[in-house]
Amino acid sequence: MTTKADAIKPSSLSFQKKEMKEVKPAAEVRPWVDEDLQDDTEIRTKEEDDGDWVESGGEEELAHVPYLASRYPVEVMVQRSQDFYSLMNQRRSVRFISPEPVPRQVIDNVIRTAGTAPSGAHTEPWTFVVVSDPEVKHQIRLVVEEEEEVNYRQRMGDKWVSDLQRLRTNWVKQYLDEAPYLVLVFKQTYGVVDGGQKKTHYYNEISVSISCGLLLAALQNAGLVTVTTTPLNCGPQLRLLLRRPANEKLLMLLPVGYPAPDATVPDLTRKPLNDIMVHL
């Protein structure tokens, strides 16, 4: 089947519009934060709204083609849903990753899979920076560990110094050197149209997070592991290190590889269906 695409349908946004005035002032004060904030809160101006609507309208006006789907007999469908759940339910966040090489072709396919996610107004607002260069991986580790250390120092205060050893195990991120690939997922908070004007990408964080869900499914399906981390405060430094443009913000960092032979995971359980689903 040829490559197709789709878009999250935005709804009316009068609330966000009203909020804008209250948050805007922060912009001048701390640009970094404001850009992140603006992104997270999906703040938009009237003009941007019109632009977005025109864009959505544009999609509506595109030629429609028949949707051809594979349909399974009921018993096959039920079995497939059960098997997929069983496979996904074996996924865990693994922090012990083997340095053995992983076929690049597999990485390409899991990123392609992430790129099939729906997105607001079909903006496809994601950039996946895949790092295998040992030196770049180490630079990333230094940035992330520095942020983490600041964290723990702030939290522990004086206790920190005496507690050094125990704490190191918390902020030291060996997998950032050892994993054959680091996938840094950036959300594109706006695009630049022909006139050079910025066009806000609505719902970009939701869209990119959905694509990360598909990425996790693809990795699990291939027998690879990762741990979903959100080093938000490292974003600006890592963006500069990786030479990404200003409209891209780091959303997640995923070390990818085979699990280490002696990998362990916390002995946690998941909520049963009745705790997460309500049927009406």
Stretch that binds its own copies, among 89-97, 157-165, 193-201 (CB under 8 A): 89-97
Q: Which residues contact 178 (CB under 8 A, 6 or more apart)?
A: 97, 98, 99, 255, 257
Cα distances (Å, whole numbers) of residue 41 to 34, 200, 206, 212: 10, 12, 11, 20
Q: Residue 262, interface with its own copies (CB under 8 A)?
A: yes
Q: Residue 232, interface with its own copies (CB under 8 A)?
A: yes
Indicate the residue among 72 and 193 with the shorter CB distance to its own copies. 72
Residues numbered 3-42 forming contacts with its own copies, rule: CB under 8 A: 3-16, 18-19, 22-23, 25-26, 29-30, 32-33, 36-37, 40-42
Q: How many other CB atoms are found less than 10 A from the CB of residue 128?
A: 20
Indicate the residue among 196 and 271 with the shorter CB distance to its own copies. 271
Stretch that binds its own copies, among 1-9, 157-165, 193-201 (CB under 8 A): 1-9
Shortest Å distance, C-beta 200 to its own copies: 14
Q: Pick from 111, 145, 177, 199: which binds its own copies (CB under 8 A)?
A: 111
Residues facing residue 80 across a β-bridge? none
Q: Which residues contact 30 (CB under 8 A, 6 or more apart)?
A: none
d(CA 239, CA 234): 8
Shortest Å distance, C-beta 41 to its own copies: 5
d(CA 140, CA 142): 5
Contact 151, 231 (CB under 8 A): no
Q: Residue 96, interface with its own copies (CB under 8 A)?
A: yes
Q: Pick from 31, 45, 47, 72: which binds its own copies (CB under 8 A)?
A: 72
Number of residues that bind its own copies (CB under 8 A): 145
Torsion angle of C-alpha atoms 142, 96, 216, 273, degrees rounded to 10:
-130
Q: Residue 115, interface with its own copies (CB under 8 A)?
A: yes
Q: At what angle do helices 31-41 and 204-222 cross, to 10 degrees?
A: 80
Q: Pick from 48, 129, 237, 238: which binds its own copies (CB under 8 A)?
A: 129
Where residue 9 falls (left for φ over 0; alpha for ψ -120 to 50; beta otherwise) is beta
Shortest Å distance, C-beta 29 to its own copies: 8
Q: Residue 196, interface with its own copies (CB under 8 A)?
A: no
Stretch that binds its own copies, among 132-140, 157-165, 191-199 (CB under 8 A): 132-140
Stretch that binds its own copies, among 54-62, 157-165, 190-198 (CB under 8 A): 54-62
Shortest Å distance, C-beta 117 to its own copies: 6
Instruction: Count the alpha carbons within 13 Å of 223 in the hemisphere toward its beta carbon.
Output: 5
Q: Residue 271, interface with its own copies (CB under 8 A)?
A: yes
d(CA 145, CA 100): 23
Query: Encoding tokens for residue 225?
Result: 């592991």
Q: At what angle do helices 31-41 and 14-23 cross, to 10 degrees?
A: 160
Q: Pick from 47, 78, 163, 168: which binds its own copies (CB under 8 A)?
A: 78
Shortest Å distance, C-beta 196 to its own copies: 20
Residues facing residue 119 across a β-bridge? 7
